[in-house]
């Protein structure tokens, strides 16, 4: 079970139920209707991703696992890797008893080198994920991986250990698939990267890892189908999105997601990309400069009670803190009663660690509320594939509705595209010379404003 508690968003100086009546309710209904129309026009394919053919992918992955591979090297970045990483990190050991997954997402030279020194090419499947086939970080690392396999095994054998997940018809990677006969899966054309975790982008690496993708999809379907009518959608996803936007309009434009459950930490990383890249936009749909967005911030309880919470309690009133709470853990320990702790700590003895953990969460949340800070909670009865799937789909829907309410396109990323073009220009891609000239600074030397430290 997964529930959302928004009670900490209401009260003196925060939101009121009256805030969502009248004109605002009409705006929400209009936004939901526009979104529904885009779904029906097949523009936004993420709403159909819980219907993915998980059984076929799982069967294919089982065949690959039976061939004796031990590891998979997953090469992708952003939405091509964060979803699978988040789901795998949320899993128990018996939910990932297949191929060990190693994610080559960042392009740090030392990390790249370490991966190839660590893995055995004879036992490793390479999974490359890029819709366009021109992603600099992904294709650079993939070309290294392909050479690594070919040098160790020969080209014919290497081709049998490559899986490509890309556009079904076009793009540079699709051409390579057609030329070399690699295993391949399609990225649905109407699903963007950060909304793709429930497509082969996430499902193939998860299935290879032995994760129960059918249960993940069932959780997402339940979250979607239990809210199938427009009125229910407006009441659930729309209300949550409207609450977040109302807080942002009141100055609370930073959203802290603080997890009290280490298995959910990577899920926060996935959320941060979804929220930031979808809603951080310079222009609205009319082309007007609006510079909209809410900054997502990752926090970990209880660790960040000793680092970030001081700022949340006494710093500027610009943060909404949403907690990820786990009611039941799969393992626990009792603090021993003997020998006795110092008197000031003896009340801890005989208590389960989970009880101490829960008290820390409640203490932090209640203290923030007393300080007049808005809080909300996502409550996982247990961390299961179903609850993780529901969480993923819920936030995709909330993000989509928020984009409609903000009158921005939540499904593009023009700010990211310019950086890619400049990088291609600096690296010498033909036709991108003008972008190279836009690059400033770089490896040629420090700027005039630089101060030498060492």
Residue whose pair of structure tokens reads 């829960």 in the numeric block: 358
> Over the Cα atoms of the chain, what is R_g?
24
Nearest CA among 312, 239, 241 for reference residue 279: 241
The verdict on whether 277 is a catalytic residue reads yes
The verdict on whether 421 is a catalytic residue reads no
Q: Which of 277, 281, 325, 404 is catalytic?
A: 277
Asked if 242 and 93 count as a contact pair (C-beta separation under 8 A), the reply is no
Nearest CA among 173, 109, 171 for reference residue 162: 173
The burial of 386, by beta-carbon neighbours within 10 Å (0-12 exposed, 13-18 middle, 19 or more buried), is given as buried
Q: Own/partner pairs for 290-294, CB < 8 Å, 24+ apart?
A: 290/407, 290/408, 292/406, 292/408, 293/253, 294/244, 294/248, 294/253, 294/254, 294/255
Q: Own/partner pairs for 361-366, CB < 8 Å, 24+ apart?
A: 361/260, 361/301, 361/302, 361/323, 361/325, 364/258, 364/301, 364/302, 364/305, 364/309, 365/8, 365/321, 365/323
The verdict on whether 244 is a catalytic residue reads no
Nearest CA among 292, 404, 284 for reference residue 38: 404
Q: Which of 291, 306, 314, 449 is catalytic?
A: 306
Q: Which of 102, 123, 298, 420 is catalytic?
A: 420
Q: Which residues form the catalytic set?
A: 277, 306, 420
């Amino acid at each position: 079970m997964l529930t959302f508690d928004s009670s900490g968003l209401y009260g003196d100086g925060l939101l009121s139920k009256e805030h969502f009546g009248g004109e605002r309710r009409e705006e929400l209904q209009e936004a939901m209707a526009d979104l529904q129309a885009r779904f029906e026009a097949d523009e936004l394919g993420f709403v159909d991703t819980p219907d993915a053919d998980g059984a076929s992918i799982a069967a294919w992955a089982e065949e690959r696992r039976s061939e004796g591979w031990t590891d998979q090297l997953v090469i992708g970045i952003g939405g091509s890797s964060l979803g699978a990483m988040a789901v795998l990190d949320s899993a128990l050991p018996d939910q990932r008893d297949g191929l060990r997954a190693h994610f080559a997402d960042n392009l740090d030279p030392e990390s790249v080198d370490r991966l190839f020194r660590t893995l055995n090419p004879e036992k490793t499947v390479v999974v490359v994920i890029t819709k366009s086939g021109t992603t600099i970080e992904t294709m650079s690392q993939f070309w290294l991986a392909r050479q690594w396999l070919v040098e160790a095994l020969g080209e014919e054998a290497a081709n049998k250990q490559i899986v490509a997940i890309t556009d079904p018809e076009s793009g540079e990677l699709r051409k390579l698939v057609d030329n070399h006969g690699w295993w391949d899966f399609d990225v649905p054309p109407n699903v963007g990267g950060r909304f793709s975790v429930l497509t082969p982008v996430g499902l193939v690496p998860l299935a290879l890892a032995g994760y129960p993708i059918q249960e993940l999809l069932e959780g997402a379907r339940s979250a979607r189908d239990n809210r199938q009518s427009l009125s229910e959608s407006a009441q659930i996803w729309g209300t949550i999105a409207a609450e977040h936007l109302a807080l942002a309009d009141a100055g609370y434009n930073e959203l802290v997601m603080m997890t009290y459950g280490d298995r959910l930490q990577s899920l926060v990383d996935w959320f941060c990309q979804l929220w930031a890249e979808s809603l951080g936009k310079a222009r609205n749909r009319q082309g007007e400069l609006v510079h909209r967005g809410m900054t997502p911030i990752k926090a970990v309880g209880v660790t960040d009670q000793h680092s970030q919470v001081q700022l949340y309690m006494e710093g500027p009133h610009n943060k909404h803190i949403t907690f990820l709470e786990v009611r039941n853990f799969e393992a626990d320990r009792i603090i021993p009663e003997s020998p006795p702790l110092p008197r000031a700590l003896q009340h801890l003895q005989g208590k389960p660690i989970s009880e101490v953990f829960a008290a820390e969460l409640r203490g932090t949340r209640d203290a923030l509320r007393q300080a007049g800070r808005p809080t909300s909670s996502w409550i996982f009865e247990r961390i299961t594939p179903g609850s993780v799937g529901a969480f993923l789909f819920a936030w995709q829907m909330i993000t989509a509705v928020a984009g409609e309410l903000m009158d921005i396109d939540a499904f593009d990323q023009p700010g990211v595209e310019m950086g890619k073009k400049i990088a291609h220009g600096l690296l010498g891609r033909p036709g991108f010379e003008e972008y190279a000239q836009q690059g400033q600074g770089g490896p040629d030397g420090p700027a005039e404003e630089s101060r030498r430290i060492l």
